[in-house]
């Protein structure tokens, strides 16, 4: 069935604005779809307005607006193909259209390999979900989202829901590939955020929540609430210890010089 979706997608791409290359049209579709989906999921009015402007900038590249009207057809094919997982659809389409960036050595991990890795990594995921209600996953090099799709498939195969029992934070450096990842992760129903950024330098250019994020928050709240609470407690305890040390040092300084006895600095605690 996925092969049929790929052929339908390719045929539709080839019917759009023949003055543009497949790479251009595919990239524009991904950007338009990202803007539409991210805008619907964003809780920020400022981000929604920015996404609307970005969307219209892409629309302006096409003289024949019938070409723009074909874009929802492409999105429909994509969502239908991803409905039950089991495929990195846009990654497969990109390979079929030959639009991968060879200069960057761009190569998407085949879904079957991603699924195998997910099965091995999440061997005890059911226990984690049963204990805390959900599991969190970070993907620092998301590509088109193949690994995240595989993780969602593993979780769903165990009887859990990707929008309630799974929270993903996926990072992708390439802007064009980030659009692909967002579309697929969102369409797969995964809760989380997709980040256009650099996992090594920690640069963050754009962050977009998926539609499933609101479902997750309604069911579980902040996925990192326990960690944040523990960090606050640790910071408060450290602040208290520092205050106690400062008070002790001040007390020692007050007694300094009240007698003529020599007191080693180490005993005063002035340099610890």
The model's pTM is 0.85
Burial 207-227 (b: 16+ CB within 10 A, else e): bbbbbbbebbeeebeebeeee
pLDDT at 263 over 70: no
Tell me the domain boundaries of the chain. 2-220, 226-268
Give the three-state DSSP class for 209.
strand
Q: Mean per-residue pLDDT for 142-167?
A: 96
At 161-219, the pLDDT tens digits run 999 999 999 999 999 999 999 999 999 999 999 999 999 999 999 999 999 999 999 99
SS3 (DSSP) at 150 = helix
């Amino acid at each position: 069935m996925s092969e049929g979706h790929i052929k339908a997608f390719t045929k539709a791409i080839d019917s759009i604005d023949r003055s543009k290359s497949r790479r251009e049209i595919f990239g524009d579709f991904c950007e338009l779809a990202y803007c539409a989906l991210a805008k619907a999921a964003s809780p920020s009015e400022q981000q929604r307005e920015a996404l609307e402007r970005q969307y219209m900038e892409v629309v302006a590249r096409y003289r024949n607006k019938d070409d723009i009207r074909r874009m929802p057809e492409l999105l429909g094919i994509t969502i239908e193909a991803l409905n039950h997982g089991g495929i990195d659809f846009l990654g497969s389409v990109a390979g079929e259209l030959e639009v991968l960036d060879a200069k960057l050595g761009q190569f998407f991990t085949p879904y079957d390999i991603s699924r195998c890795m997910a099965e091995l990594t999440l061997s005890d995921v059911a226990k984690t979900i049963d204990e805390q209600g959900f599991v969190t996953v970070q993907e620092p090099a998301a590509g088109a989202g193949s690994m995240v799709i595989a993780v969602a498939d593993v979780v769903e195969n165990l009887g859990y829901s990707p929008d309630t029992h799974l929270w993903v934070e996926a990072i992708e450096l390439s802007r064009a590939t980030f659009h692909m990842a967002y579309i697929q992760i969102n369409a797969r129903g995964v809760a989380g955020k997709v980040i256009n950024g650099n996992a090594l330098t920690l640069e963050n250019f754009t962050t977009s929540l998926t539609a499933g994020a609101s479902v997750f928050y309604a069911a579980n709240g902040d996925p990192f609430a326990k960690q944040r609470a523990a960090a606050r407690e640790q910071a408060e305890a450290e602040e208290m210890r520092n205050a106690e040390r400062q008070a002790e040092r001040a007390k020692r300084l007050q007694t300094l010089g009240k007698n003529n006895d020599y007191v080693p600095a180490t005993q005063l605690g002035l340099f610890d």
